[in-house]
Structure 1
Amino acid sequence: MRGRRTVRTVRTVLPPLVTVVLVLLVWVFLTTGGRVEDYVLPSPGSVVTALTDTWSDRLAPATWVTLSETLLGMAAGLAAALGITILAGYLPVVGTALAPLLVASQSVPVVVIGPIFTIALGYGITPKVLVVALMFFFPVAMNLLSGIRDADPHLIDTMRSLHATRHSLFWRVRFPAALPAGFAGLRVSVTFAPVAAVFSEYTGSTDGIGYLLLQAIPRLQTDFVFALVVVLTALAAVLLLATTALERLCCPWNVTRQHRKES
């Protein structure tokens, strides 16, 4: 048993680790000997220096601002997705009626809807939270709605033969069946949420990672831009790891099923 876990861990960790090492080696090769100009591609050392030198006075406060916008937007988007799912679980016609609106909400790009929110709500945190929420809830809501429709019909028939109520059918069968699909959408959403926050800061802000990017790019501070990208990537990675841990707590049966398929 322990040997299987070790093999599974190696299979999970080794491929991305090798990929990261190869990317770093290629990066070092390109940035030594004057092969690429520093303002085009800075060296890893200069990026680390920019990260450490500006962390306390600039990067850390901006990161906290962007993280706050991201977390609040995620919470609002998740609440909206769960609300729609619960409503559609009790009234299936609601899910069918709202599906076109959910798709339409994603047809408007962030670069268009962000300025509209900024004009209407000002330069505070509210328009950023709304942009993140709008981008976040769609994959979660659509996956949850698909999951409750695809619940095991044999299990539903068994529950009905035991005189289960609509309430019991939803919370004991449909919603648990939809959780794996919901977490699949959640994993996609959490990786895009920080990026949505940065794009929303482009449309009007006084702080945050997006605000620092707008200042650094025209000045050709490429090492600082790369440092901001590293921070943004780290935020997305931490959110993804937290989502994976939450999935293990909420639906361990799905994790066990995936491990069986892998083995």
Structure 2
Amino acid sequence: MVTRNPVAQAGEPAGATPGGVTERTRPGTGARLAGFVERSWRPVAVLVALFAAWWAVTAAGLIEPYLVASPGQTLEVILDKPDYFLHSTWITALETLLGFAIAVGVGVLAAVVMVASPTAEKSLYPLMLFAQVIPKIAIAPLFVVWLGFGLEPKIVVAVLMAFFPVVISMVTGLKSVDPEMLQLSATMGAKWHQTFWKIRFPASLPHLFAGLKVAVTMAVTGAVVGEYVGANEGLGYVIQQATGNLDTPTLFAGLVIISLLGVLLFVVVEWLEALVLPWHASRRTDNVTTTL
């Protein structure tokens, strides 16, 4: 049975090992709550300041109401038509999630193929880059003509917007594995799929989640662009109708809800990252220190 010396060496911090490395302990509920507050108060303060400035500018009459709606007018519009905005938000969220899911599945598969086959990478990468640089708002009307006014064209635009970040981040992650690890697995006789699942894929997850956080916000933009071009429901349709009717409060209401939807989906992906990658350095709130 191994016992720990209760008396710490002179000059060493509490919880330090004889080698001088501070032990990492699992934070309690209070510590996690304090960490959440510490991470959150700055962006919350910025948002409060922005809303205060928005309210002050509109209340002082520095900008005409038909140009910039006040926070009160925006909130009043949302409260007057809650079912309308709730249904529009649901449609846009559905298009976003479906497009994002398809982009993740196809993007990860394409990245694996490109890493496994240099020929496939040289063949597919220029095409992906070509598709990425094409303005989506320019080709969105084509999808409406081909697929109609349903969910399909909006999902396609969301996929195109979210696809490239997923592919690039996954390819980067799969290629960032330490070559010595790959040599060691090859020396031990590991097959390609074994090396992929045990070494390459876990090592690529931090890069993948970085791309997913970008992709999910791009998927929201893609869904809204598709709705703006041709739709009869969704937040993009709300903005289009409000613009045509010069209904500034409804326009601002749609923009605020779109922003909140994007932030919410970003936070969900970040929460999944913390759940899947608690061991990664980017998720740690404390650092290993040494007294040496």
Q: Please, what TM-score do these two structures have when normalized by structure 2?
A: 0.83
1:167–1:92 Cα change, 3 Å:
farther
Superposed displacement of residue 10, structure 1: 3.7
Equivalent residue number for residue 67 of structure 2: 40
Structure 1 stretch 7-16 or stretch 237-246: which is displaced more? 7-16
1:142-173 Cα distance to aligned partner (Å, 9 max, x none): 11011111111121122122111111111111
Equivalent residue number for residue 152 of structure 1: 178
Superposed displacement of residue 30, structure 1: 0.4
Equivalent residue number for residue 114 of structure 1: 140
Paired residue secondary structure (2:103): helix
Q: Which amino acid in structure 2 is aligned with residue 137 of structure 1?
A: F
Equivalent residue number for residue 100 of structure 1: 126
Equivalent residue number for residue 42 of structure 2: 15
Once the two structures are superposed, the pairs formed by residues 53-64 of structure 1 within 5 Å of their partners are 53-56=80-83, 58-64=84-90
Q: Is 1:67 matched up with 2:93?
A: yes
1:256–1:184 Cα change, 3 Å:
closer
Superposed displacement of residue 86, structure 1: 2.6
Superposed displacement of residue 256, structure 1: 5.8
Paired residue secondary structure (1:252): coil
Identify unmatched segments of 5+ residues in structure 1. Answer: none
Superposed displacement of residue 257, structure 1: 5.4
Q: Please, what TM-score do these two structures have when normalized by structure 1?
A: 0.92
1:38-77 Cα distance to aligned partner (Å, 9 max, x none): 1112211111111111111x21111111111111111111
Equivalent residue number for residue 252 of structure 1: 278
Distance in 2 separating the partners of 1:42 and 1:191: 25
Equivalent residue number for residue 211 of structure 1: 237
Among 243, 246, 251, the alignment partner of 2:269 is: 243
Contact 1:137–1:189 (8 Å) recurs in 2: yes
Among 163, 169, 173, the alignment partner of 1:143 is: 169
Among 78, 101, 105, the alignment partner of 1:51 is: 78
Distance in 1 separating the partners of 2:287 and 2:210: 17
Cα RMSD over matched residues? 2.0
Distance in 2 separating the partners of 1:83 and 1:136: 14
1:262–1:51 Cα change, 3 Å:
farther
Q: Is 1:231 matched up with 2:264?
A: no
Equivalent residue number for residue 217 of structure 2: 191
Identify unmatched segments of 5+ residues in structure 2. Answer: 1-26
Contact 2:112–2:171 (8 Å) recurs in 1: no
Q: Is 1:162 matched up with 2:185?
A: no
1:132–1:210 Cα change, 3 Å:
same
Distance in 2 separating the partners of 1:95 and 1:258: 34
Distance in 2 separating the partners of 1:15 and 1:93: 47
Equivalent residue number for residue 134 of structure 1: 160
1:38–1:261 Cα change, 3 Å:
farther
Paired residue secondary structure (1:259): coil
Superposed displacement of residue 119, structure 1: 1.4
Q: Which amino acid in structure 2 is aligned with residue 55 of structure 1?
A: P
Contact 2:277–2:283 (8 Å) recurs in 1: no
Equivalent residue number for residue 201 of structure 1: 227
Flag the structure with higher helix content.
1
Contact 1:47–1:226 (8 Å) recurs in 2: yes
Q: Is 1:175 matched up with 2:177?
A: no
Aligned-residue identity in percent: 34
1:67–1:10 Cα change, 3 Å:
closer
Superposed displacement of residue 7, structure 1: 5.6
Distance in 2 separating the partners of 1:90 and 1:152: 16
1:189-244 Cα distance to aligned partner (Å, 9 max, x none): 11121121111112211111111111111222111111111111111111111101
Distance in 2 separating the partners of 1:194 and 1:253: 30
What is the aligned length?
262
1:251–1:94 Cα change, 3 Å:
farther
